[in-house]
Amino acid sequence: MIKFFIHTFGCQMNECDSERVAGILSGAGGVPVDRLEDADVVVVNTCAVREKSEEKLFSYLGRIALLKRKKPLRLGVVGCVAQLRGVELVGPRLGVDFVLGPDNYAELPRLFGSPLQERFVSTEWSTAWRETPPGLIRRESRTSAYVTVMEGCNNFCSYCVVPFARGREKYRPLPSVLAEVADVAARGYKEVQLLGQNVNSYKDPETGAGFADLLRRVSEVDGIAWLRFLTSHPRRFPAEINRVMMERTNICRQVHLPLQSGSSAVLKKMRRGYSREMYLDVVTGLRGLIPDIALSTDIIVGFPGETERDFEQTLEALRIVRFSNIFSFRYSPRPLTRAADLVDDVPVAEKRRRLAAVQGLQKTIQLELNARAVGQCQRVLCQGPGKKTPELMSGRNEANQVVNFLSGRASCGDFVTVRITGFGPYSLRGEEIAP
Ligand code: SF4
């Protein structure tokens, strides 16, 4: 029996992949353990999107190398860094025994029955969709299930390593998506999150049906109370999606729409394929049909050549759109990307200042938005006791905000009605009211 431990860096796509990796290992007879120290096999699922995430990976590998001196242990690196660096990772320097790219997880059962010393690397791309049977996926959450609908990206934004780490776009057949959604509904999941690097470029390989069709079909599966999707590209956000969202009440009124910069000049250098005005038009279209929609975004500060004026335009865009949440980062050059050839000319101290300014402004906006929620009654999907406040239950509302609330009866997986009584910049507080 092999005891395995998985450590995941990065985004929801990686969390979702780790659930597949755990499923494949369990299906082959492995047993998951909660502590690294108890494992025979450690799998590190990696993120290459930012320099910092790679730095964290190497420091984590150093920690495992120390453990390897004390006990027999096999260490594997999977995911984006595995794909990019491949064989370079294997060997005594980092202590890595096997490396698998995102298309190669089906090879994990090689660990069973092979000698401890065997090393292997597999980073071949597959052009066909690789199916993991839904029953094999070991989901972390008991309330919300990730369902991948596409992988990879054809956009080649100038700063982004994803097309190199995840390959070109591949779309999952629509019947297979529907089958997995039906499976999770039958297992009692209340919420489904459709995932892909570019969900709105989805095309069913058989019929050519687009993302709006997929969204509608998934929303019609019995038992799915809430449906979300991530990530959408602003360049291809057709009005059809807005209409489906308006018509289907189980699609949450919430969209993550990465802006990256509020300056058209910077967006052009980023090769994002839209201008500031085009982005704001998409927002206007969404809010025209669904006025209370919650929008979140990604922002990069300090892209090569970003002037003070460009940066001010990003701040202005935040003031105009008033996002409910943002993920903001300092630019760092990534290997293989076009922007890596540009002069990284915004000094680190200035990038830090800009990041602090973005985050400070956003905090003020969120406090203002959250203050307005006080007194409202909101539907919340309970995820169990709060991590920091175990005396309260914790869940998410339709806008995907954390809501911590007093309750005498709610348990994980229940929908409850919560009256909002307080707020902070990043969460709401409240109390359950009688149904
Ligand atoms: S759309 Fe751009 S930022 Fe998003 S994954 Fe593709 S290349 Fe990266």
Please give the pLDDT value at position 244. 97
Looking at residue 5, what is its pLDDT? 97
pTM: 0.94
Q: H or E stretch including 182?
A: helix 174-186
Q: What is the pLDDT of residues 360-378, one digit of tens each?
A: 999 999 999 999 999 999 9
pLDDT above 90: residue 408? no
Query: 3-class DSSP state for residue 290?
Result: coil
Report the alpha-carbon distance of residue 422 to residue 270 in Å, rounded.
40
359: CA distance to ligand 1 center in Å? 22
Q: What is the pLDDT of residue 389?
A: 85
Average pLDDT across the chain, whole number: 95
Confidence of residue 320 (pLDDT cuts 50, 70, 90): very high
Q: To the nearest whole percent, how much of the chain has pLDDT over 70?
A: 100
What is the number of the ligand 1 atom nearest to the C-alpha of 231? Answer: 4
Tell how far the Cα of 150 is from the centroid of ligand 1, in angstroms. 13
Candidate of 198, 303, 337 to mutate for ligand 1, largest count of ligand atoms within 8 Å of Cβ: 198
Q: Give mean pLDDT, residues 300-312.
A: 98
What's the token pair of residue 6? 């998985």
Torsion angles phi and psi, residue 299, rounded to 5: -130, 135
pLDDT at residue 435 is higher than 80 = no
The CB of 155 under 6 Å from ligand 1? The reply is yes
Distance 12 CA to ligand 1 centre (A): 15
What's the pLDDT tens digit per position in 21-48? 999 999 999 999 999 999 999 999 999 9
Q: What is the CA radius of gyration of the chain?
A: 22
Burial class (CB in 10 A: 0-12, 13-18, 19+), 29: exposed
Ligand 1 atom 1 nearest Cα: 155
Q: How confident is the model at residue 113 (pLDDT cuts 50, 70, 90)?
A: confident
Q: How confident is the model at residue 129 (pLDDT cuts 50, 70, 90)?
A: confident
Q: What is the pLDDT of residues 41-59, one digit of tens each?
A: 999 999 999 989 999 999 9
Phi-psi region of 273 (alpha: psi -120 to 50; beta: other; left: phi over 0): left
- pLDDT digit string, tens, across residues 153-182: 999 999 999 999 999 999 999 999 999 999
Is any atom of ligand 1 closer than 6 Å to the C-beta of 242?
Answer: no
For residue 296, pLDDT over 80 is answered with yes
Q: Whose CA is nearest to atom 2 of ligand 1?
A: 157
Q: For the chain, how long is the longest CA-to-CA vector?
A: 62
Cα of 327 from ligand 1 centre, angstroms: 15
Whole-number pLDDT of residue 206: 95
Please choose from 12, 49, 159, 162 the residue to mutate so as to test ligand 1's pocket, defined by most ligand atoms within 8 A of CB: 162
pLDDT tens-digit profile of 350-361? Answer: 999 999 999 999
* Per-residue model confidence (pLDDT) at position 231: 95
Q: What residue type is assigned to position 27 of the chain?
A: G
Beta-bridge partners for 296:
256, 325
End-to-end CA distance of the chain: 48
Assess whether pLDDT exceeds 80 at residue 434.
no
Residue 376: half-sphere exposure toward Cβ, Cα within 13 Å: 15
